[in-house]
Amino acid sequence: MPKFCRQTHPCFRLLPTLRLPALLWLVIFFAPLLLPSRACSARDEAYNTSELGPDPRRSYDINISFGTLLPSRNGLGEGIPGWVFRASVPTLTGVFEGGLFSGIGNGIVYRSATVDYRMDLLIDPVTAHFLIGFHGDQFTAETASSRFAGGWHYGGGVTQYLAGPLFFRFDFRHRFSPGQGVEITLGLVYRFGRGEGS
Protein backbone atom coordinates (compact mmCIF):
# COMPACT_ATOMS: atom_id res chain seq x y z
CA MET A 1 0.00 0.00 0.00
CA PRO A 2 1.52 3.40 -0.96
CA LYS A 3 2.66 5.39 2.05
CA PHE A 4 1.21 8.66 0.66
CA CYS A 5 -2.30 7.27 1.24
CA ARG A 6 -1.73 7.75 4.95
CA GLN A 7 -0.03 11.14 4.78
CA THR A 8 -1.17 14.74 4.63
CA HIS A 9 0.64 17.42 2.68
CA PRO A 10 2.35 20.69 3.76
CA CYS A 11 0.10 22.67 1.39
CA PHE A 12 -2.63 22.46 4.05
CA ARG A 13 -0.81 25.39 5.67
CA LEU A 14 -1.82 27.60 2.71
CA LEU A 15 -5.57 27.16 3.27
CA PRO A 16 -6.22 30.30 5.38
CA THR A 17 -4.75 32.56 2.68
CA LEU A 18 -6.66 31.28 -0.35
CA ARG A 19 -9.96 32.40 -1.89
CA LEU A 20 -13.10 30.27 -1.60
CA PRO A 21 -13.00 28.70 -5.14
CA ALA A 22 -9.40 27.68 -4.59
CA LEU A 23 -10.29 26.30 -1.15
CA LEU A 24 -12.94 24.06 -2.70
CA TRP A 25 -10.44 22.77 -5.24
CA LEU A 26 -7.88 22.08 -2.53
CA VAL A 27 -10.44 20.07 -0.55
CA ILE A 28 -11.16 17.98 -3.66
CA PHE A 29 -7.44 17.66 -4.37
CA PHE A 30 -6.40 16.49 -0.91
CA ALA A 31 -9.40 14.30 -0.11
CA PRO A 32 -7.75 11.19 -1.66
CA LEU A 33 -4.81 11.61 0.74
CA LEU A 34 -7.21 10.97 3.63
CA LEU A 35 -8.79 7.84 2.19
CA PRO A 36 -8.66 4.79 4.48
CA SER A 37 -6.19 2.05 3.64
CA ARG A 38 -8.99 -0.15 2.25
CA ALA A 39 -9.72 2.47 -0.45
CA CYS A 40 -6.05 2.60 -1.35
CA SER A 41 -5.95 -1.19 -1.60
CA ALA A 42 -9.01 -1.08 -3.88
CA ARG A 43 -7.19 1.29 -6.22
CA ASP A 44 -4.15 -1.01 -6.31
CA GLU A 45 -6.39 -4.00 -7.06
CA ALA A 46 -8.08 -2.10 -9.89
CA TYR A 47 -4.75 -1.47 -11.59
CA ASN A 48 -3.72 -5.09 -11.10
CA THR A 49 -6.91 -6.57 -12.56
CA SER A 50 -7.98 -4.18 -15.35
CA GLU A 51 -6.37 -3.15 -18.60
CA LEU A 52 -5.45 0.37 -17.57
CA GLY A 53 -1.78 0.22 -18.44
CA PRO A 54 1.03 1.11 -15.99
CA ASP A 55 0.04 2.60 -12.62
CA PRO A 56 0.68 6.39 -12.89
CA ARG A 57 1.68 6.53 -9.21
CA ARG A 58 4.61 4.18 -9.91
CA SER A 59 5.76 5.18 -13.39
CA TYR A 60 7.65 7.96 -15.09
CA ASP A 61 5.75 10.07 -17.65
CA ILE A 62 6.75 12.05 -20.71
CA ASN A 63 3.93 14.18 -22.09
CA ILE A 64 3.61 16.39 -25.17
CA SER A 65 0.38 18.37 -25.47
CA PHE A 66 -1.09 21.19 -27.56
CA GLY A 67 -3.61 23.78 -26.51
CA THR A 68 -4.35 27.37 -25.57
CA LEU A 69 -3.41 29.73 -22.77
CA LEU A 70 -6.05 32.36 -21.96
CA PRO A 71 -4.28 35.08 -19.94
CA SER A 72 -5.98 37.99 -18.22
CA ARG A 73 -3.42 40.61 -17.27
CA ASN A 74 -2.36 44.04 -18.50
CA GLY A 75 -1.54 43.99 -22.20
CA LEU A 76 -2.66 40.37 -22.65
CA GLY A 77 -6.23 39.37 -23.35
CA GLU A 78 -6.25 37.04 -26.36
CA GLY A 79 -5.84 33.27 -26.45
CA ILE A 80 -2.30 32.08 -27.14
CA PRO A 81 -1.94 28.74 -28.97
CA GLY A 82 1.05 26.69 -27.95
CA TRP A 83 2.51 23.37 -26.90
CA VAL A 84 3.66 21.84 -23.60
CA PHE A 85 6.37 19.38 -22.67
CA ARG A 86 6.01 17.69 -19.27
CA ALA A 87 7.96 15.02 -17.38
CA SER A 88 6.95 13.42 -14.07
CA VAL A 89 8.69 11.45 -11.34
CA PRO A 90 6.84 9.21 -8.81
CA THR A 91 7.78 9.29 -5.12
CA LEU A 92 6.41 7.78 -1.92
CA THR A 93 4.46 11.01 -1.28
CA GLY A 94 2.95 11.38 -4.75
CA VAL A 95 3.95 12.40 -8.25
CA PHE A 96 5.96 15.53 -9.02
CA GLU A 97 6.11 16.93 -12.53
CA GLY A 98 7.76 19.79 -14.35
CA GLY A 99 6.63 21.39 -17.58
CA LEU A 100 7.47 23.98 -20.21
CA PHE A 101 4.83 25.90 -22.20
CA SER A 102 5.72 27.75 -25.41
CA GLY A 103 3.16 29.80 -27.30
CA ILE A 104 3.04 32.40 -30.07
CA GLY A 105 -0.13 34.10 -31.29
CA ASN A 106 -2.04 37.38 -31.54
CA GLY A 107 1.17 39.37 -31.31
CA ILE A 108 2.23 37.65 -28.09
CA VAL A 109 5.22 35.40 -27.38
CA TYR A 110 4.70 33.49 -24.14
CA ARG A 111 7.03 31.10 -22.30
CA SER A 112 6.24 29.42 -18.99
CA ALA A 113 7.83 26.86 -16.65
CA THR A 114 5.80 24.93 -14.05
CA VAL A 115 6.48 22.64 -11.10
CA ASP A 116 3.50 20.62 -9.83
CA TYR A 117 2.48 18.09 -7.21
CA ARG A 118 0.04 15.64 -8.84
CA MET A 119 -2.45 13.27 -7.21
CA ASP A 120 -3.93 10.47 -9.37
CA LEU A 121 -7.30 8.91 -8.66
CA LEU A 122 -8.67 5.91 -10.56
CA ILE A 123 -12.23 6.36 -11.88
CA ASP A 124 -12.43 3.28 -14.11
CA PRO A 125 -11.97 3.40 -17.11
CA VAL A 126 -10.07 6.73 -16.82
CA THR A 127 -7.65 8.13 -14.28
CA ALA A 128 -8.39 11.61 -12.96
CA HIS A 129 -5.59 13.78 -11.65
CA PHE A 130 -5.53 16.89 -9.49
CA LEU A 131 -2.54 19.18 -9.21
CA ILE A 132 -1.20 22.26 -7.50
CA GLY A 133 2.05 24.07 -8.16
CA PHE A 134 4.01 27.17 -9.08
CA HIS A 135 4.87 28.80 -12.40
CA GLY A 136 7.29 31.35 -13.81
CA ASP A 137 6.35 33.26 -16.99
CA GLN A 138 8.16 35.37 -19.56
CA PHE A 139 6.02 37.16 -22.16
CA THR A 140 6.26 39.84 -24.82
CA ALA A 141 3.29 41.67 -26.39
CA GLU A 142 3.00 44.31 -29.12
CA THR A 143 1.73 46.74 -26.48
CA ALA A 144 4.39 45.94 -23.87
CA SER A 145 8.05 45.05 -23.57
CA SER A 146 9.29 41.68 -22.35
CA ARG A 147 8.20 40.97 -18.78
CA PHE A 148 8.69 38.29 -16.16
CA ALA A 149 6.07 37.13 -13.67
CA GLY A 150 5.38 34.22 -11.38
CA GLY A 151 2.60 32.76 -9.27
CA TRP A 152 0.73 29.62 -8.30
CA HIS A 153 -1.96 27.50 -9.92
CA TYR A 154 -4.27 24.56 -9.40
CA GLY A 155 -5.89 22.28 -11.93
CA GLY A 156 -6.69 18.79 -13.01
CA GLY A 157 -7.56 16.52 -15.88
CA VAL A 158 -7.86 12.93 -17.01
CA THR A 159 -5.74 10.29 -18.73
CA GLN A 160 -7.16 7.49 -20.86
CA TYR A 161 -5.21 4.33 -21.67
CA LEU A 162 -4.70 3.78 -25.42
CA ALA A 163 -2.23 0.92 -25.99
CA GLY A 164 1.12 -0.24 -24.67
CA PRO A 165 2.78 2.66 -22.85
CA LEU A 166 0.63 5.36 -24.56
CA PHE A 167 -2.13 7.40 -22.93
CA PHE A 168 -4.35 10.30 -23.98
CA ARG A 169 -4.22 13.25 -21.55
CA PHE A 170 -6.43 16.31 -21.00
CA ASP A 171 -5.35 19.11 -18.65
CA PHE A 172 -6.46 22.48 -17.41
CA ARG A 173 -4.75 24.89 -15.01
CA HIS A 174 -6.18 27.99 -13.35
CA ARG A 175 -3.29 30.41 -12.84
CA PHE A 176 -3.03 33.20 -10.27
CA SER A 177 -0.66 36.12 -9.68
CA PRO A 178 -0.24 38.42 -11.40
CA GLY A 179 -3.73 38.48 -12.91
CA GLN A 180 -5.35 35.18 -13.79
CA GLY A 181 -5.24 32.76 -16.67
CA VAL A 182 -6.51 29.38 -17.83
CA GLU A 183 -4.40 26.81 -19.69
CA ILE A 184 -6.18 24.00 -21.58
CA THR A 185 -4.21 21.26 -23.34
CA LEU A 186 -4.66 17.86 -25.03
CA GLY A 187 -1.90 15.41 -25.85
CA LEU A 188 -0.18 12.04 -25.48
CA VAL A 189 1.69 10.50 -22.57
CA TYR A 190 4.44 7.89 -22.79
CA ARG A 191 4.60 6.01 -19.46
CA PHE A 192 7.48 3.75 -18.48
CA GLY A 193 9.52 2.26 -15.64
CA ARG A 194 8.81 2.06 -11.91
CA GLY A 195 9.86 4.79 -9.50
CA GLU A 196 10.09 5.22 -5.74
CA GLY A 197 6.32 4.99 -5.45
CA SER A 198 6.45 1.25 -6.20
Task: Give tens-digit pLDDT for 14-32.
Answer: 444 445 555 555 555 555 5
Rounded distance between C-alpha atoms, residue 30 and residue 119, angstroms? 8
With residue 186 as reference, give the H or E element that holds it. strand 180-192
Question: Any idea where the domains of the chain sit in the sequence?
Answer: 3-86+95-192
CB-CB contact of 196 with 92 (8 Å): yes
What CATH code would you report for 3-86+95-192? 2.40.160.20
Tens-digit pLDDT profile for residues 80-118: 999 999 999 998 888 999 999 999 988 888 899 999 999
CB-CB contact of 133 with 114 (8 Å): yes
- 13-17, 57-61, 72-76: which is most confident: 57-61
Q: Between 191 and 1, where is the model more confident?
A: 191
CB-CB contact of 83 with 64 (8 Å): yes
Rounded distance between C-alpha atoms, residue 119 and residue 93, angstroms? 9
Classify 179 in phi/psi space as left (phi over 0), alpha (psi -120 to 50) or beta: left
